[in-house]
Amino acid sequence: MAPSARPNLRQIANSLGLSVTTVSRALKEGPEVHPRTRARVQKAAAKAGYAPNIHGLALRTGRTRTIAAILPLETRAYVADLAKVPLIEGMTLAASENGYALSIFSTGPEEDQLWSLQRLVQSGISDGIIITRMAAKDPRIAFLRDRGIPFVAFGRSATKLDYAYIDVDNEGMVRDAATQLIAQKHRRIALHLLTRDDESCEQRLRGYRQALAKAKLPFDPALVGHEEFTMAASESFFESVLDLPKPATALMCSSELGLLGAISALRKRGLVPGRDVGLFVRDNTRLSKYLAVPLLAHFVDLAEAGRLAVDALLRQIEDPGSPLTQIVMPGHFERYSGPDV
């Protein structure tokens, strides 16, 4: 076999004195092939660097063995998408373990998400799609359902349509976190949210208002901010609530980057983060654990969320008509005391 040539089934079959059919079945783990023969074929294929021809596979079966995940960029700031890394890791590993390739499609913050999805579907390069950053009335759900395209959403929309999703309990997370801050005698709690179009932000706002209502505290819109996913935007918002005539006594950060912005805003005013002003953060990467700052953090294993999303998508692809996966991950809280002073 010429080292520069792409190995194919016939070449592997000839080198082993087997039929092409036997080699093909052995590579597919066919039970009709003796285990020792399967092992010989797989060893020879690996040594030769054999990989199935995806284009030929698609022509024969209508499948590409590729799935796609659409991950819109939060903003053009270079570290803004840090939180997506664990999610991508989980999706990549789950796809690979099941014999699929994962393609990541990033779209710009100003790009129309439905238009981006239409382009991906028209390309025909994937067997199913994972969509993220769900809007309250997300048109992509109806678009994919109407065309019978397997898909899973990371996040939920307010639509009444039935679809597969993996989500985080954003409402419960913020409600429980605000309740804990209220129990610590905080009465002016600032909540930092992201884009107003995000359904997850609406869920967090509902949880915040529920906690205030239960404690019979007034809702002050000046304490709620919708900002970009950057440290600078977070810092600016938290500076504004710290400079109010009745300043915030606790800051709820939407992300690790938001926490860094909050810490900067506090230190500029000579305030000790987590001691003079309470802190809560939704942390995807456990960055808050290493900041030596007293705070309350909420964690969800986003690598596991990525795995669950891929598993749910492959179930639709390989077993059409199976029940749709719908999982809301509660996560858990951890409290850090910070350094002894």
Bridge partners for 279 per DSSP: 251
Domain 66-168+302-330 in this protein, CATH class:
alpha beta
What distances in angstroms separate CA 257 from CA 146, 201, 248, 268, 282, one per listed residue? 38, 16, 19, 17, 10
Higher-pLDDT residue of 109 and 166 is 166
What is the pLDDT, as a whole number, of residue 162?
93
Let me know if the fold of 1-48 is the same as that of 66-168+302-330: no
What is the pLDDT, as a whole number, of residue 71?
87
Written as one letter, the residue type at 179 is: T
The band of 222, judged by pLDDT with boundaries at 50, 70 and 90, is very high
Tell me the mean pLDDT in the region 3-17: 75
Listed in order, strand segments (DSSP E) in the chain are 66-72, 101-107, 128-132, 151-154, 165-168, 189-193, 224-226, 250-253, 278-283, 295-299, 326-329, 332-336
pLDDT at 246 over 80: yes
Which of 94, 123, 37, 148 has its CA nearest to residue 305? 94
Tell me the mean pLDDT in the region 287-294: 92
On average, the pLDDT of the chain sits at 88
**Predicted model pTM:** 0.79
Q: Rounded to whole angstroms, how far apart are CA atoms 181 and 166?
A: 28
CATH topology of domain 170-299: Rossmann fold (3.40.50)
What is the pLDDT, as a whole number, of residue 2?
40
The band of 77, judged by pLDDT with boundaries at 50, 70 and 90, is low
Q: Rounded to whole angstroms, how far apart are CA atoms 137 and 134?
A: 8
Q: What are the structural domain ranges in the chain?
A: 1-48, 66-168+302-330, 170-299
The band of 314, judged by pLDDT with boundaries at 50, 70 and 90, is very high
Higher-pLDDT residue of 59 and 239 is 239
What is the pLDDT, as a whole number, of residue 226?
84
Write down the architecture of domain 1-48 according to CATH.
Orthogonal Bundle (1.10)
